[in-house]
Structures are given as C-alpha cells and as structure tokens.
Structure 1
Amino acid sequence: MVSRRLIAVMAVTVLAPLGLAACGDDKQPVTSNGDAPPASSTPSEVAQQEQAPAGDVQISVTPATGKTDVPISAEIGVKVDGGTVKTVTLKDAKGGAVAGEMREDGSSFVPAKPLKNKVGYEATVVASDAAGAEKTATTKFTTMAKPGKKTGSGLYLFDDHTYGVAMPVVAEFTPGIKKADRAAVQKRLFVKTDPPQPGTWSWTSSGTQAYYRAPEHWKPGTKLTVRLGLAGLPMGGGRYGGQDRSATAKIGRDFQMKVDDKTKKMTVIQDGKTIKTMLVSLGKKSTPSSSGNLVVMEKKASTVFDTTDTDGAAGYRANIEYAQRLTWSGQYIHSAPWSAGAQGRRNVSHGCVNMSPANARWLFDKTLIGDPVTVQNTGDKLDYGNGWTPWDVSWKEFAKGSALPVPTDLG
C-alpha cells in the first residue's frame, strides 16, 4: 500500500486502520491509518446538500448538518458514488481554513489539529464524474463543550531525538483502554516512516500501553513521525482523550548487544560487525536474569538502587554508575566493581548484567535508548510487558494484539 495521503490506523492506539502501516514505494513515507469513518458519525447523521447536477454522482458527508455536541476529534466522513472526490475544505465559524489530509482510502478528511470546543464548522466536498462535471455537498455542525472526564496519555518518543533500531513507538493510557474501545482509539494513532516500512500497533493485555513496530528492526536513518490524535476522542466510560501528542525522531546506527549466560560474555555488534566482547556476571540462582529480547529504556550515569522498601532487611541500597534499564522490574546493565572477580566466571547479581567500570562506561557512551539487548540461556523467561518487549514475540504473535485487522502479507 503506497502512502500518498494520511491514513488512520489505530486510534494509541492513536495512531488503521491508524495502527497499521502498509508497504509503500521508495518516494513516499508509510502512514498508519484507519479505513473507517469517525466513530462519532453514523449513517443516520449523513448530510447531503447537492448544489450542482453532475450525472449520477452522489455525495454523503458526516457529521450531519445541524449536528451538535460533536467531539473535537471529528473527521469529515466522505462517501461518493458515481464519481471521485476533488476537494474537501473545512472552515470554522469565522471562515478560517482548517488544515488536514485525506485518509489514504479516501474515507475521511482528518484535521491536522483538534477542533475547538463549542465552535461551529462548515465542510464542503466537491466531487466530479468521469466527464468532469462537478457536484458539491456541504454540512454544518457544532463541537461539544469541554468534557469533564479525561483519559491521560503519554508518548515515549521525543522530537529531534535519535533512537536505536529496536525503538518501539510506545503509547500509554491512564486508565487503560478496554478491549471494546481499542479499535476506535487505534484509528487515531498515526505513524509515518521514511523510508517506508510496514508496521502495526499491538495492545498490552491491560490496555495501558500500545506498541508500534515493524516486522524487523527499523532501517538505520529512518525518520519516524508520530501523532496520537486523541484530544476529545471518546475513549469509553464517558471519558475523552485529554490531548494530542506528537513527535518526529530519527533512528541511528544498528548497534546490538548479545549476552550469553553460557559464556558469561556480552558481544557488541555495530552495523553487522563485532566491535567488542566483554565479561559479565548475571543473576544468581535465587534472582536470575531474564532471557529474552529487550530494549534499552533509560540511561543514568549515576543512580541509587534501593530495595529496602520492598525487601525489608533482605534489601540493599547501593550507588550505581552507568546504569541502563532493561525491565520495569529493575534489571539493568551497569558498572559493578565489586563483582569484577566473578565476571566471566559465575553469576552473583540480583538479575542485572554486571560489568567492569571501564567496560560499563565504554558501553554507556555508545548506546542509545532503543538499542536491542538479547539475553539468552539464563533459564528464566522474560515476562511480556516487563519493559518494552514487543520484539520478544514473533511478528505473527505481535500482530494478534492489534485492535484492527492486519493484512496477512504485512511483513
């Protein structure tokens, strides 16, 4: 699928279907979009005010004319029989033009920003038949007041940052989105990749997070453009999206870390070439490290590990340098001078990947958030959701978590 116009895939999931991105050519970025008209519209709300004869062209537009209390996330739904859409324009009550783009399938016009509350809008659709004769349809509607209950959201991606090739797009919701409401949210989750790469959204079981990834790691140099178009979106339980979130970021070089408990070594591979091998010590038998495909989530040059609140007398408090988080449960790669004698020989950590200070600093200076880390042969499997774990399952399994259909040949 070539992305020449905006598409909604998963409405984060804000961003297919806004949650789905399809393959495109080398000239246009892939956009994840949805193919359905806005959830706020129903067939009974169709407005159709035809102004000029044009053969058998029939135009249907939503929201219906005269409709009030329209969510500010509304899109202008368009259906044309006997012709093709030429233009869609949207203006506010003062005549100001509202910027936006058509979804790739032509089903709706998506405003580039949320509409304003308690404001009147007029949309005009011009279509033409095969002979070029035009027909016009208009609709006027008014948006709703600011809602009282909102769903919070977050986006783990920041403007002008460079990330590793395994960086998932992570959308977060508070409270979590129930299964019945996820498809509507996913349609408003938009992702574009340049150069084009297919991808889809997938929800965690709790509905508090949705991940977007491709079948394979991102190509180095990829540009990611993300919009969670959630402001004013009905999200279930009488709640509405609190705000839109967006970011444009870049994927850097291909830098991967592979840790093997059998050898007690980490192998570092950059752009397909091994550049360093380092001794490590992993989790001891009572606190094993998790085996799986992880991602560097956070980096701190210095921090304090304190488990006394959760483990009581069995807990510990330690100053740590060059810490790189791998899981929410507290597994890190970090400097551990106290275990230097054990590194490469036996496991003595509480689940972390222990390294010498020199090796830990060398690695810390080279990694990016989103770099992949593979840990194997520890005997303890990584729990899905314990960190950014979308790469720890197959593409087929990952796609099952989408709230919208995923083409079987996507990837």
Structure 2
Amino acid sequence: MGRFVTRKAAIGKILAAAAAGALALTLVTACGNDQPKAPTFVNNNQAAAPSASPTAPPVPFEFAVTPADKKKNLPVSTEIGTSVKGGEITSVALTDKAGKAVKGTLREDKSSWVPSAPLKYDTDYTATVVATSAAGQAETKKVSFSTRGKSGNDIGSGMYLFNGKTYGVAMPVVMEFSPGIPKRDRAAVQRRLFVQTDPPQPGVWHWVSSGTQAYYRGPDYWQAGTKITVRAALEGIPLSNGRFGDQDRRATAKIGDKFVMKVENKTKKMQVFKNDKLVKTFPVSLGKPSTPSSSGTLIVMDKQEHTVFDTFAELGPEEGYRTDIDFAQRLTWGGEFIHSAPWSVGDQGVRNVSHGCVNLAPQNASWLFGQTKVGDPITIKGTERKLEPGNGWTAWNLSWADFVKGSALPVPDSLKSPGSTGNATPTPTPTD
C-alpha cells in the first residue's frame, strides 16, 4: 500500500508540528566537512664568517574595519569586518545608541565579528575594534552605522533539527527555503549557517540544484553520542531577488545509538543492525514494477504510530484509496514509507505488491517502530527506480566526493577525502 504525498503539504505539516514542539505529520497521502640572521659578507683576505639566510622584511602593519563609518540602511545581519596585516585583532566591541553592549564572537579565521543575535531594525550602532601589531603597537578604530527597517518581503525557511531531540547517526542538518536561494546568493547564505559538533567531526554543506534545500553532513555517519549545535543566522540577510532572510534559528540536538536498516529487493528481506550488530531480519514487500520503491540511501524523516493514507487527490477516484495505517515511517517527500501491511503478509519475502512502500508484518513493523529514530538510515538496493535528489533528505545518497561539490564555498583539500579530520566547515564559524 502507499503512494505519494505532496511535498508542499508534507513540509508545512512537519514545520507546523515542530513549532508546536514535536516533529510530526498529520494526514498523509502515503507510500509511493628563530628569525634567520642577516647575511655576513666575506672579505677574501679574511677568515670566512658563517653564512646565513637573508631575513624576510617585516610585514607592514595594516588595519581596516567594515562597514564604512556612518553607513546607513545596513541589514540586521551585518558583521564587523576585520582585516589586519602584520598584527592581530585584540578586541571587538559593539554598542547600540543607548550604550548597551551587543554580544558576539570572532570567526575562527578572524575575518569578521559576528553578533550572537540579529541586530535591531532602525537602530544606530558603534563598533570599536582594537588591533595590535607584531611589535606590540595597539591601534583602535571606531565606526558608526545604522540598520534598515524591516521589509516584510522575506523568504520562508525551516530547519529540520530541533532543540533537545535525539536523532539517528545519518541525520543531516537540513535547511529548507521557499522560494529557493538563487545560486549567486548561496555562498553568502552558507557563511551564515553555523554548525559545531562535540566531539569535533568534519562536515560540509551541500545545495540541491533548485536551492530549496541545503544539507550538512560529514564523510561518515555521526558518532553515537555526538552533540550538534546549529545556528542559521539568516534574519535580514539581503538576497538578489529582493527578499530577505526571515529569522535566526537555533538548535542543539544529540545523536543516539547507531541503528541501520538494509533492504535487498532480490531477497525481499530487511536486515536490521544496532551498533553494527545484526539484530533482526524481516521479510518485506516493496513497490510493484509499476510503482517501484526507490533504490538508494534514505533517512527516516518522520514517524506516526497511526495515520491515514489518502491518495484520491493524487491518483483519482479509480485508482485512489484511503486506508488506515499503523507504524508509518516517512522516507521520501513523494510518499514512500516503512509501515505495517497486514494485507500483504503472504507476499512479504516473496513478491512486491506495494505502491512504493516497504511493507512489514504488523508485529515486525511495531518492533521496528519502537527502535527507530528520525535520522536513522535505510539502504534499499535492486529496485527499478533510483532515489531522486531532493526527494526526501537525500544527503547520504551521494559519495563524499560528489557531496562536497555541492558546497557554495570553497572546500579545503583536507576535507575532500573520505576519512578527513579537517575543520568542521571550510570557514569555521561561531554559534554563540
């Protein structure tokens, strides 16, 4: 049983449920990263003195700050840019017109200082930046600027990682945008997507071609017990299509035990692994040839113990159906699920009869539902259809080499190879 739910409806329901404090869907339409000494010149009539390499000339101390002084109508996403040669940034302070301090953190590469929250609209600010030369000389620069008013022409955005939740090891950080982010804006947006992992693990952002989604993951699944802290600092960021970022989003979540499912169409069986140990094998029925299941690595996106699959709007009155479903676990936006299917028990392990879903016997579906988490991966092999990019959280359906190609920012060589232990992002950034 099962066929496709509309993407728009599913997104709306997931985000609406998240705003209420839970990730859930309602009615669905179903399956389907020593200075060298100066040289000694020798007189041929004297004993030769030891030779040494030339000393490199000192780097001149240069120090600049942005924005320009008295700049007006800046976005509330404004950062204090810092550029120093022959020295380093010592401190950055930002205050509003009333003298109230604004909290913030320097990016790790010290290219700018990022406020910990969006600045206020229609507000005057003064930034005081101190840099110290290599010789110990301190220099202070002050700039004042003002922010623009709120436009009301915002993008819609969502983040599929919620505070305090526990997820599976394949859970990417997923950003959703409506409309999609134009290509020329993606680097600027990506620089405002901040991720930290504890223990540290590398990761990179990848954009789907439409710009409607961006995923963050590493070369390998997250380590069990990892804490992920995310800030999508998008409020007020200006885009080339005349829109602005809608809001800052934050979440700190945990990664639970490693739980992996593998399905082979050839055998019509599901193998279930917990912490790399095989714990269960179940017979399954997949999508029949006319409505095949998608082959690839999919991720559990949502779970509902009881729901209704209603496909009349999608398939019409002749082929559509409305069916009560138990233990439903969404895998794609198009409507493929793992779920209980008592009507196909005789077919499970033998033949494929579903509309694209992974059918299980009720007792097996119930056990599996009690074990899985959103973010757990399932790999399906050998069906007539490949998983389409963006049809669900398809971050793990790409090799690492292909995944890093989707970054809008340059990816260091240290992050391009599997098993990388490089920094968490191409330009590590603060989440405070």
TM-score (norm 2): 0.81
- Where does residue 48 of structure 2 map in the other structure? none
Corresponding residue pairs, total? 358
In the aligned structure 2, how far is the partner of 1:171 from the partner of 1:269? 28
In the aligned structure 1, how far is the partner of 2:346 from the partner of 2:306? 22
Contact map agreement 2:289 2:384 (CA 8 A) in 1 = no
Tell whether 2:220 aligns with 1:234. Answer: no
- Where does residue 282 of structure 2 map in the other structure? 278
- Where does residue 250 of structure 2 map in the other structure? 246
* Residue 150 of structure 1, CA deviation: 1.0
- Where does residue 52 of structure 1 map in the other structure? none
Secondary structure of residue in 2 paired with 1:387: coil
- Where does residue 379 of structure 1 map in the other structure? 384
* Counterpart selection for 1:403 from 380, 400, 408: 408
In the aligned structure 2, how far is the partner of 1:130 from the partner of 1:230? 36
In the aligned structure 2, how far is the partner of 1:350 from the partner of 1:387? 17
- Where does residue 301 of structure 2 map in the other structure? 297
Contact map agreement 2:169 2:256 (CA 8 A) in 1 = yes
Identify unmatched segments of 5+ residues in structure 1.
1-31, 33-54
- Where does residue 347 of structure 1 map in the other structure? 352
* Residue 409 of structure 1, CA deviation: 2.5
In the aligned structure 2, how far is the partner of 1:60 from the partner of 1:204? 36
Rg larger in structure: 2
* Residue 196 of structure 1, CA deviation: 0.8
Tell whether 2:128 aligns with 1:124. Answer: yes
CA shift digits 1:157-196 (9 cap, x unpaired): 1000000000010001111111111111111111111111
* Residue 132 of structure 1, CA deviation: 2.2
Tell whether 2:329 aligns with 1:324. Answer: yes
In the aligned structure 1, how far is the partner of 2:85 from the partner of 2:291? 64
- Where does residue 185 of structure 1 map in the other structure? 189
Tell whether 2:171 aligns with 1:167. Answer: yes
* Structure 2 residue identity aligned to 1:283: G
In the aligned structure 2, how far is the partner of 1:377 from the partner of 1:310? 26
Secondary structure of residue in 1 paired with 2:101: coil
> 1:64-103 to 2 correspondence within 5 Å?
64-103=68-107
State the identity as a percent. Answer: 59
- Where does residue 370 of structure 1 map in the other structure? 375
In the aligned structure 2, how far is the partner of 1:56 from the partner of 1:184? 30
* Structure 2 residue identity aligned to 1:250: K
Identify unmatched segments of 5+ residues in structure 2.
1-32, 34-58, 421-432
Over the residues paired in the alignment, what is the CA RMSD in angstroms? 1.2
CA shift digits 1:357-383 (9 cap, x unpaired): 000000000100000000011132111
Contact map agreement 1:88 1:109 (CA 8 A) in 2 = yes
Contact map agreement 1:151 1:235 (CA 8 A) in 2 = no
Contact map agreement 2:72 2:146 (CA 8 A) in 1 = yes
Tell whether 2:216 aligns with 1:212. Answer: yes
Secondary structure of residue in 2 paired with 1:259: strand
Contact map agreement 1:177 1:236 (CA 8 A) in 2 = no
Contact map agreement 2:167 2:373 (CA 8 A) in 1 = yes
After TM superposition, the structure 1 stretch with the greater mean CA deviation from structure 2, 176-185 or 362-371, is 176-185
Contact map agreement 2:287 2:354 (CA 8 A) in 1 = yes
Contact map agreement 1:165 1:251 (CA 8 A) in 2 = yes
Secondary structure of residue in 1 paired with 2:366: helix
Higher relative contact order (CA 8 A, sep 6+): 2
Tell whether 2:343 aligns with 1:359. Answer: no
TM-score (norm 1): 0.85
* Residue 384 of structure 1, CA deviation: 1.1
